[in-house]
């Protein structure tokens, strides 16, 4: 194990980014040495001349242009073969459909490392948005985590060229670059979540984060066990009590060009991520089933924050960002926190632990308090927090809670733009009394129903009224099977969503007196 730990690279995707180019289209199909060419085919309307075939001939080969379909077409004459990928009905074409189309193309060309594709012309989607979506679809669909395999099977994409009309080259280049950065962030988050927990401990993640920070224009501070004790971070320390591996808190900071050293002059967001490297449930041990085997992904929130922040400099993000990654595993042992124990969160709030498998909210509470101790315009946390959110929304949609409607709407807008689906759930304060404890200020679980709401209400106790949103990604963090550009295994959900949110963030401000904003009545209980 020691030898494997020494050789293991937890972020193999980051070190080997593909080359993404944009070139003017023209000439014979396949010309220019760009690699296997993909040609878009709409489900109706004109057929691209590059295919050299009519719609009936293509349909006979099973190439209908339906969204999500792709297949190989023999080249005309001595020409090379082409991949025809469907873009669906022209009136329904948007970046989400193009991202899916790029994924279908990548799947049909799975044995080729050098790829090229034609940008759909006259689609109504701006060249930059189309280029970004296609790059994301291709690269994310071809992602595989095979660093621990002796003989990897997947063929990585080493080069991707987009062929676009000459006047659109500059705009498409901007979109393609953004697509590459968004894809790299997601692949980085996937790498981290897929890494075995014995190889990616909290301490190792701190080393990875420090190295990434140095390379990407971030500053990183790592707080060890002794420092966490001095800071009064009793939530993180309580969860870590049963572990043989020490906890770490990683504080990252991104400062935009032109802003002051603490982000002065820029809008400021604080991110908080759950980084449970492996969640056994602690004394409240999880059953030994398939879900238990996925619990290396319980640090997906922290991974998404690290990944998103790693591309902010290259995206020229105007928002100043501070990130807290709260990292530990949750293990049973003779020293583990017991049911009935009381922990003291930073700031002095006491928490009765009635279930040690409700640990994520405990470690995040410390960070939420820390977030309120510095100036910020909004706090956003992200965590694989509750099975209840997955029961409510299924395995593909994240739950969103918040105390400011404008902030929640910005998170939802970013979810729509990136096709990382999220749905607002009610922060129903009528349930807050279910968290009251007889022996402490609060307990870490409520009743048997509404578990996602209870978790959100618990977290809200620690934000001191600051604008705050909470993303529960327990469902979409993991895929049981590959679907389009989402692989089987850890999905990296949240990295692109957070990057999109930060790029367009506007401070929500304080609610107007008497507006009801932030209360249950103001919530859209969709």
Beta-carbon count within 10 A of 77 CB:
6
Q: State the catalytic residue, choosing from 178, 361, 496, 523.
A: 361
User: Can you tell me the distance from the alpha carbon of 172 to that of 300, in angstroms, rounded to the nearest whole number?
Assistant: 31
For this structure, is 338 an active site residue?
Answer: no
Angle of helix 451-460 relative to helix 360-372, nearest 10 degrees, comes to 30
CA-based nearest residue to 291, from 225, 381, 387: 387
Are the C-beta atoms of 25 and 164 separated by less than 8 Å? yes
Q: Are strands 398-402 and 468-472 parallel, antiparallel or unpaired?
A: antiparallel
- Angstrom distances, CA of residue 300 to CA of 95, 296, 323, 454, 510: 25, 9, 14, 21, 30
φ and ψ at 140, to 5 degrees? -75, -30
User: Can you tell me the distance from the alpha carbon of 473 to that of 148, in angstroms, rounded to the nearest whole number?
Assistant: 26
- Angstrom distances, CA of residue 195 to CA of 8, 30, 192, 200, 239: 9, 38, 5, 6, 21
DSSP assignment, residue 256? -
For this structure, is 361 an active site residue?
Answer: yes
User: Can you tell me the distance from the alpha carbon of 101 to that of 123, in angstroms, rounded to the nearest whole number?
Assistant: 13
CA-based nearest residue to 249, from 262, 269, 261, 231: 231
Q: State the catalytic residue, choosing from 114, 174, 286, 313.
A: 286
CA-based nearest residue to 131, from 182, 174, 67, 91: 174
Neighbouring residues of 43: CB distance < 8 A, sequence distance ≥ 6:
64, 65, 66, 67, 86, 87, 88, 89, 90
User: Can you tell me the distance from the alpha carbon of 427 to that of 403, in angstroms, rounded to the nearest whole number?
Assistant: 8
CA-based nearest residue to 411, from 466, 333, 468: 468
DSSP assignment, residue 244? S
- Half-sphere exposure for 431 (CA within 13 Å, toward CB): 19
Q: Which residues are part of the catalytic machinery?
A: 286, 361
């Amino acid at each position: 194990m020691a030898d494997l730990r020494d050789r293991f690279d937890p972020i193999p995707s980051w070190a080997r980014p593909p080359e993404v180019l944009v070139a003017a289209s023209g000439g014979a199909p396949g010309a220019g040495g760009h690699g296997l060419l993909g040609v878009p085919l709409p489900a109706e309307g004109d057929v691209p001349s590059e295919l050299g075939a009519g719609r009936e001939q293509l349909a006979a080969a099973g190439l209908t242009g339906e969204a999500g379909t792709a297949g190989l077409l023999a080249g005309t004459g001595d020409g090379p073969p082409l991949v025809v990928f469907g873009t669906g009905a022209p009136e329904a074409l948007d970046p989400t459909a193009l991202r899916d189309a790029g994924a279908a193309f990548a799947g049909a060309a799975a044995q080729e490392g050098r790829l090229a594709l034609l940008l759909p012309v006259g689609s109504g989607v701006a060249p930059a948005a189309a280029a970004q979506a296609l790059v994301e679809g291709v690269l994310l669909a071809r992602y595989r985590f095979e660093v621990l395999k002796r003989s990897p099977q997947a063929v990585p994409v080493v080069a991707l060229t987009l062929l676009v009309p000459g006047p659109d080259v500059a705009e498409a280049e901007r979109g393609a670059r953004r697509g590459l950065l968004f894809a790299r962030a997601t692949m980085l988050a996937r790498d981290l979540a897929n890494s075995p927990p014995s190889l990616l401990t909290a301490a190792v993640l701190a080393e990875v984060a420090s190295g990434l920070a140095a390379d990407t224009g971030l500053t990183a501070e790592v707080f060890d066990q002794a420092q966490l004790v001095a800071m009064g971070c009793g939530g993180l320390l309580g969860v870590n009590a049963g572990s043989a591996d020490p906890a770490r808190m990683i504080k990252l900071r991104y400062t935009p060009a032109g802003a002051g050293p603490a982000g002065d002059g820029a809008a400021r967001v604080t991110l908080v991520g759950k980084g449970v490297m492996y969640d056994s449930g602690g004394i409240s041990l999880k059953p030994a089933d398939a879900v238990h085997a996925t619990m290396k992904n319980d640090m997906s929130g922290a991974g998404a924050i690290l990944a998103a922040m790693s591309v902010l400099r290259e995206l020229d993000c105007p928002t100043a960002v501070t990130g807290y990654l709260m990292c530990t595993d949750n293990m049973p042992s003779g020293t583990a926190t017991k049911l009935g124990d009381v922990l003291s969160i930073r700031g002095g709030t006491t928490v009765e632990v009635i279930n040690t498998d409700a640990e994520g909210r405990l470690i995040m509470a410390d960070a939420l308090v820390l977030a309120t101790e510095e100036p910020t315009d909004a706090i956003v946390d992200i965590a694989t927090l509750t099975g209840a959110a997955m029961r409510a929304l299924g395995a593909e949609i994240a739950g969103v809670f918040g105390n400011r409607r404008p902030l929640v709407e910005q998170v939802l807008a970013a979810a729509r733009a990136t096709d990382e689906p999220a749905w607002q759930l009610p922060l129903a304060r009528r349930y807050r009394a279910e968290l009251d404890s007889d022996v402490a200020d609060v307990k870490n679980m409520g009743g048997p129903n509404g578990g996602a709401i209870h978790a959100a209400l618990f977290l809200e106790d620690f934000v001191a009224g600051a604008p705050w949103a909470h993303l529960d990604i327990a469902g979409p963090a993991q895929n049981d099977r590959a679907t389009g550009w989402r692989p089987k295994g850890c999905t990296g959900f949240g990295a692109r969503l957070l990057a999109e949110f930060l790029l367009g963030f506007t401070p929500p401000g304080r609610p107007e007196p008497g507006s009801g904003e932030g209360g249950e009545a103001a919530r859209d209980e969709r």
